Structures are given as structure tokens and as C-alpha cells.
Amino acid sequence: MNILVTGGAGYIGSHAARQLIEAGHEVVVVDNLYRGHRAAVHPKATFIQASLTQKDVLEKAMREHQIEGVMHFAALAYVGESVTQPLDYYQNNTHGSCCLLEAMDVAGVKRLVFSSTCATYGEPELMPIVETMHQQPINPYGWSKLMVERVLMDYAAANPSFAFTALRYFNVAGSAADGSIGEDHEPETHLIPVILNTILGKRESITVFGTDYPTPDGTCIRDYIHVEDLVAAHITAMQSQSDGAQRFYNLGIGRGYSVKEIIEAVERVTGKTVNVEYGDRRPGDPPQLYANSDKIQNELGWSPKYTSIDDIIATAWGWFSNHPDGYND
């Protein structure tokens, strides 16, 4: 297939482009490089520097490269930033997705896999989270993604041949197994990279926010999925699409790890001690978030290959230890 990957210079999008190319697909990457890295773009991908709002550029790319499907990763994704700068998130994530759909509509592209988020669920009362649970985001980031899900449903209802799959992620982690591409954010807020950066001396310490949660060790529990497993789910989802299909799936490994467990795992993998400080809880941090991903496993046959947190962290360490300055090395 000829696939357009939005956000293909970012963490997940770059892994997606690589896996697609290795599977024999033709890939066009569109990224404005606001937070992506040109060096992360696969050398065999066609690269177009553009924003989602440049509909004419997107439409031209789809026509010229005979695009058959779109994997849509481009988004702002910092929860805290979305609270202080909500308009940026609605403009980029929600409006940008509408612009992408308009370009697809004009170019006649009928297949989309959308990068959604577990943040659409807000603070669910029961664990694990299943797709039928009520969605009530607690921040603009979650709302900006949930609105796109609504837009996709409405657009699909008006266009019976259009098919989409929305994949709701939990915590994405790890890097390419060969260490060639990986995670490089500025600022970095994800737990595993923050711990690894602390070990590398790029941070003085890591702060654990809250040790009095109703969990076995008092720290928050989250579900971690390896980036390559996540991308494999996208490819499986796109290959299984048929006219009019509207699908929603959770992506996770089905169990959670606490902050303390992640720190201990990093110390096991690296053989180094992490400098840890303890602070108060952060507002809006639920005690536990982890997925039930039985639906995608049963319906599409996808399952995660990385189910050990040590194995996930080992691939991340392979990237960070060899690229302490990320793509600026």
C-alpha cells in the first residue's frame, strides 16, 4: 500500500514509517518538525515538511503518491501544556484533524488509522479499562482527541465507503530493537526516559509524585506498551479495514506497573542506582490506569510481543545510552 504518515518525524510516527517500509509499503511522511526530528525520518520515506492545516499540500501529496491510507500521529501531546494552552491543542489536534479529513475527502482517500489516547476515559472507576466505558476527559488534550473520534464517526456516517480505526494508547515506551531510532522529546515528561536521563546525568534526580495512593506500594500504576507493538497494531488495523468499518481499540499489555516498580526495573536493566526524591501528589493523577486489550486481540489477532517491563526498558536503554543527546548527537 501507499501510506501517508502524519507526524512521521516524531517518536511513534518514525517507528511506524520504519515498520511500514520494512513490510514493503511505500511511505510518505508529513511533519512540520515543530517537535519532530528530521533525522528520525526513514531514508526511504518521501518527506514533506508541512502542517495539517496546509490542506492543499496534503491533497497534492495524496494525489501524486496515490495514497491509499493514512496513519495519523501528528498531535500535541502534553497534558499539562494542554491545560495552560488549550487553544493550541484544539487548533492543532482537533482542527488539524478536520483539515486532514478534508484533504482526504478531496483526494478520495478512504482509510484512516487514528492515534487516539486513554486520556479520553478521564478517571474511570473500574480497572482494567474496556472500550465501552464512559469517556469523560479531565484535560483539553483528552478532549481534543475525543472530539476527533466524534468527527470521524460523523464523517463516516455521511461517507459509507470511509473506514477508520481509533487506537487508544496507554503509556508508550521503548525504542527500536537495534537502537537506531528512539524517543527524543523536549521537554521530556515520560517516566522511563526521565529516569534514564537521570542515570545519564542529564537530570539531578527524579521526583516521585505521591506515595500514598491506594496501590500496593503507594505510587501510581500505569500500563506500558512497547512502541513497536503499538505500531504493529496500527498496521494490522489498516490491513483489516473494509468499507464503512468504524473500530475503536485499547492498546496496552493488560497490566500495570507502579512508579517504584519502573524505577526498580530501570536499576535492574542498567545496573545503576537512580537518585530519587519524593514529592506531593499532582492534581489529576488517577491511582491506576491500565487497559483490557482483549477486543483487538480477539477481533484482529494482534498481541504484544513485549510483555516484560525489563525487556521494554532494555530497548529504551539501548537508545538512550548510545544517544544521550537524542537526535542532536
Same domain membership, residue 154 and residue 106: yes
Same domain membership, residue 211 and residue 280: yes
Same domain membership, residue 97 and residue 10: yes
Same domain membership, residue 209 and residue 318: yes
Cell 456516517 sits on residue = 157
- In a domain, residue 186? The reply is no
Residue 216, domain CATH: 3.90.25.10
- In a domain, residue 261? The reply is yes
Average pLDDT for 239-246:
97
- In a domain, residue 160? The reply is yes
- In a domain, residue 125? The reply is yes
Structure confidence at residue 41 (pLDDT): 98
Look at phi and psi of residue 49 and say left if phi exceeds 0, alpha if psi is from -120 to 50, else beta. beta
Alpha-carbon torsion (287, 204, 188, 89), positive or negative: positive
Q: Does the pLDDT at position 142 exceed 70?
A: yes
Same domain membership, residue 234 and residue 258: no
Residue 156, domain CATH: 3.40.50.720
**Position 24 confidence tier, pLDDT thresholds 50, 70, 90:** very high
Strand 257-258 to 221-222 pairing: antiparallel
Please confirm whether the linkage preceding 128 is cis (ω < 30° from 0). yes
Structure confidence at residue 329 (pLDDT): 60
Q: Which helix (H) or strand (E) holds 106?
A: helix 96-107
* CB-based contact 4:69 (threshold 8 Å): yes
Same domain membership, residue 234 and residue 314: no
- In a domain, residue 180? The reply is no
Distances (CA, A) of 297 to 75, 224, 241, 254, 305: 26, 17, 15, 11, 12
Cell 461517507 sits on residue = 159
Same domain membership, residue 205 and residue 153: no
- In a domain, residue 181? The reply is no
CB-side neighbour CA atoms (13 Å) of 197: 20
- In a domain, residue 183? The reply is no
Same domain membership, residue 73 and residue 39: yes
Same domain membership, residue 241 and residue 116: yes
What total number of domains does the chain contain?
2
Same domain membership, residue 70 and residue 104: yes
Same domain membership, residue 236 and residue 217: no
Structure confidence at residue 10 (pLDDT): 97
Residue-wise pLDDT for 299-311, tens only, equals 999 999 999 999 9
Structure confidence at residue 286 (pLDDT): 82
Please confirm whether the linkage preceding 187 is cis (ω < 30° from 0). yes
Residue-wise pLDDT for 41-97, tens only, equals 999 999 999 999 999 999 999 999 999 999 999 999 999 899 999 999 999 999 999
SS3 state at 119: helix
Q: Does the pLDDT at position 217 exceed 80?
A: yes
- In a domain, residue 178? The reply is no
Q: Which residues pair with 317 in a beta bridge?
A: none
The C-alpha angle with vertex 300 and arms to 295 and 301, in degrees rounded to 5, equals: 95
Among 28, 40, 29, 30, CA closest to 175? 40
**Position 23 confidence tier, pLDDT thresholds 50, 70, 90:** very high
CA 213 to chain CA centroid, nearest Å = 26
Judge if pTM exceeds 0.75.
Answer: yes
Residues annotated as catalytic are: 141
- Looking at the chain, the whole-number percentage of residues with pLDDT higher than 90 is 93
* CB-based contact 168:120 (threshold 8 Å): yes
> Residue 270 sits in which domain range?
191-222+254-328
Average pLDDT for 139-145:
96
Same domain membership, residue 111 and residue 259: no
Structure confidence at residue 80 (pLDDT): 87
Classify residue 264 as exposed, middle or buried by CB count within 10 Å of its CB (0-12, 13-18, 19+).
middle
